[in-house]
Structure 1
Amino acid sequence: MRSTMIGLLRPLLVVCASLLLLLLLLPGAHSRIPRYTNGFHYQDIGNGNGNGEIYFNGVRLLVESPQPSVSATRGSSVTLPCHYHYEPEPTAPRRTRVKWSWLPANTVGAPASAENVVTETEVMVAMGNRHLSYGSFRGRVRLRRSAPGDMSLVINELQLNDTGRYRCEVIDGVEDESVTVDLELRGVVFPYYSQTGRYHFNFYEAQQVCQDQDATLATFEQLFTAWEDGLDWCNAGWLADGTVQYPITVPRDGCGGVDLDPGLRSYGQRHRLLHRYDAFCFSASVKGTVYFLKHLTKLNFTEAVQACARDGSQIAKVGQLFSAWRLMGLDRCDAGWLADGSVRYPITKARANCGPPEPGVRSFGFPPLFLKFGVYCYR
């Protein structure tokens, strides 16, 4: 009896299922079925473009920046623009959370490896009137909030290591949109080699010697800009991403050959501990002043250090001299000691008896410390 009833009902069930399917496929039928909504609506995949994409059909969160890159000077304040809005504008305010994160310049575009783990660092998170900043940015960052939707990041007291790519991420429920802004410092790239000759630094030693000269290892972009400005140097040096390169504006033998076009010659990624090269350092403007100390007599290195101290200053570093030359126009045709034991002088207007016919920082290398020169001080 039971099997007979099931046999009679089966055709009826099939007919009912077919009718229900037909109703669902009719235009507007889906609107008759109650559904959960959170203010966002997406059309069914079957109503897409045939490639499995889902069309958006509701309030949309947009995050934008009018400037993909910003440049500033060291020690100044800078604003990284970021704004968000909705299309269409919602009728009631929505609760959003904002997170700014940072990818340092030496990791932007660098391949991830065991030696180089490319990760973003949190700078600030904010929700409503509450905010929290992290690490070296603590106490130096805030949101501008000059208008509704303005989440621009203001960074005070810019440091050499602040360069890189910043991400502005706005989170609203299930919506999460972001935009990036690159921050660059205006400065100067200079090659640096050891007192004992060229090619003596591994990667970490190159980082340290640049830091010792009030600089950082240059990024590829900084070296490329320096090459565009005329930097020509035939010795290979470390960059911040762990590559080894050198800039050539005049092709010649021994520097890649005369058949190669001008450009950056690259050795690619090298072993950061085993391989040894020079360094390309980057220095930005300094708050203080670099000056040539007027003294009745020339000085050996020890006397030069003492003379700056008596003048209320300290002997200048190489990065400080390069910054003063490039960014402040320091021009002096007098050779002077620097803190690393080198002797140099800055020329912005080339002239007779002051070295080559191009502007630049002239170098006497690392003479014996008992020889007598002038001195450049920093206050």
Structure 2
Amino acid sequence: MMLSLLRPLLVFFLSLLLLLLLPGTQGWAPGYSNGFHYQDISNGNGNGEIYFNGVRLLVESPQPSVLATRGSSVILPCHYHYEPEPSTPRRTRVKWSWLPANTITEPASPEDLAKETEVMVTMGNRHRSYGSFKGRVRLRRSAPGDMSLVINELQLNDTGRYRCEVIDGLEDESVTVDLELRGVVFPYYSQKGRYHFNFFEAQQACRDQDATLATFEQLFTAWEDGLDWCNAGWLADGTVQYPITVPRDGCGGVDLAPGLRSYGQRHRLLHRYDAFCFSASVKGIVYFLKHPTKLNFTEAVQACASDGSQIAKVGQLFASWRLKGLDHCDAGWLADGSVRYPINKARSNCGPPEPGVRTFGFPPLFLKYGVYCYL
């Protein structure tokens, strides 16, 4: 009696086991559906594309890189759509993340993904921003599928690679957009003389002058624009390099072609060099203070304060010279105790025949000069 009852059950389970072992039936279970279906990749176009419910998700950007100005707003374009378009809207989650400029490797490595930090996450009408981007970012949403990121009040440290990632169920597609700021690279050394900064001191020295350590790309662009400097300096990636447009003895030799001379990665605590700083547009105005007499450094600081401003920093002077056309032939004190002046229109009695920021170095603080103020 018992065997007659068990026999149908045994036949059912044996049939089920056989069905699971047949080709093409792996993972099948009766009465279960998760709402997603993926076609076999071998049935696709040979490029490893996976189709989601017979619909392909595409995420694109018409601009792989965007150039912007510090303090302004910028739009990083990102759009997604389906092929073919589904008959009903799908719920998607969008995440923007960021890889700072000084950590980008070329070509991109898997480690880059691990170093990315979240900027903004959104699902439907709900969204959340993070870190220094909190309150400064939003999605444009000008049309269906438009997930372009709007960043307000751009800061020096916002440069880098941004990833727009669209997640629909089990499908995840993304595109990257590089953000660069218009600016200027300038070499910077300590009041004590050449080669006194370790990496972290170089970082701080640039920050003190309203700048950041330059990236390799920024220094390369500056070299293309004619920057020639024979002293090695730290860059944001921890390498030490210097740009040469006119090969000569003592700067790699006359036999080497023009370019960036590199010492490679150096010990960030023990090795000491100068710095290459990057400064972008300033929101205020740098001006030469009209004063009846020349000033020592202490008097220069006070004179700017009495005029309702503050003594200008080196990065502010360079940015105003390069990006706003500041041109003045009088030497003046700056906040770090150096004396400089900016020339855009070369002329007699104003130094070399090409434009640039002329420097007197760090003279004794009791000497008398003019002063550049920042308002």
Structure-2-length-normalised TM-score: 0.88
Displacement over 6 Å in runs of 4+: 48-51
Please say if residues 347 and 361 of structure 1, whose CA atoms lie closer than 8 Å, have aligned partners that are also in contact.
Answer: yes
Match of 2:235 among 239, 247, 259: 239
2:76 match:
80
Following TM superposition, by how much is the alpha carbon of 1:111 offset from its aligned partner in structure 2, in angstroms?
A: 10
1:230-379 aligned within 5 A: 230-379=226-375
CA distance in structure 2 between the partners assigned to 1:248 and 1:199 by the alignment = 18
CA distance in structure 1 between the partners assigned to 2:117 and 2:174 by the alignment = 15
User: In the alignment, residue 244 of structure 1 is paired with which amino acid?
Assistant: V
Q: Does 1:226 align with 2:214?
A: no
CA distance in structure 2 between the partners assigned to 1:79 and 1:48 by the alignment = 35
CA distance in structure 2 between the partners assigned to 1:151 and 1:117 by the alignment = 20
CA distance in structure 1 between the partners assigned to 2:351 and 2:265 by the alignment = 35
CA distance in structure 1 between the partners assigned to 2:31 and 2:49 by the alignment = 20
CA distance in structure 1 between the partners assigned to 2:41 and 2:70 by the alignment = 52
Instruction: Give deviations 1:291-325, integer Å, cap 9, x for gaps.
Output: 00000000000000000000000000000000000
CA distance in structure 2 between the partners assigned to 1:216 and 1:316 by the alignment = 16
1:225 partner SS = helix
1:117-132 aligned within 5 A: 119-132=115-128
Please say if residues 70 and 183 of structure 1, whose CA atoms lie closer than 8 Å, have aligned partners that are also in contact.
Answer: yes
1:63 partner SS = strand
Instruction: Give deviations 1:139-176, integer Å, cap 9, x for gaps.
Output: 00000000000000000000000000000000000000
Following TM superposition, by how much is the alpha carbon of 1:355 offset from its aligned partner in structure 2, in angstroms?
A: 0.4
Q: Please provide the CA RMSD for this pair.
A: 2.5
User: In the alignment, residue 272 of structure 1 is paired with which amino acid?
Assistant: R
Q: 1:50 to 1:286 in 2, by over 3 A?
A: closer
CA distance in structure 2 between the partners assigned to 1:189 and 1:173 by the alignment = 45
CA distance in structure 1 between the partners assigned to 2:345 and 2:50 by the alignment = 62
Match of 1:205 among 201, 205, 208: 201
**Unpaired runs of at least 5, structure 1:** 1-12, 26-32
2:287 partner SS = strand
Following TM superposition, by how much is the alpha carbon of 1:42 offset from its aligned partner in structure 2, in angstroms?
A: 1.0
Bigger radius of gyration, 1 or 2? 1
Q: 1:49 to 1:301 in 2, by over 3 A?
A: closer
Please say if residues 296 and 369 of structure 2, whose CA atoms lie closer than 8 Å, have aligned partners that are also in contact.
Answer: yes
Q: 1:289 to 1:372 in 2, by over 3 A?
A: same
CA distance in structure 2 between the partners assigned to 1:111 and 1:273 by the alignment = 28
CA distance in structure 2 between the partners assigned to 1:304 and 1:236 by the alignment = 32
2:104 match:
108
Following TM superposition, by how much is the alpha carbon of 1:49 offset from its aligned partner in structure 2, in angstroms?
A: 7.8
2:318 partner SS = helix
CA distance in structure 2 between the partners assigned to 1:217 and 1:337 by the alignment = 23
2:189 match:
193
Q: 1:231 to 1:133 in 2, by over 3 A?
A: same
Q: 1:218 to 1:43 in 2, by over 3 A?
A: same
Please say if residues 80 and 147 of structure 2, whose CA atoms lie closer than 8 Å, have aligned partners that are also in contact.
Answer: yes
1:144 match:
140
How many residues in Structure 1 have an aligned counterpart in Structure 2? 349
CA distance in structure 2 between the partners assigned to 1:49 and 1:72 by the alignment = 39
Following TM superposition, by how much is the alpha carbon of 1:196 offset from its aligned partner in structure 2, in angstroms?
A: 1.1
2:147 partner SS = coil
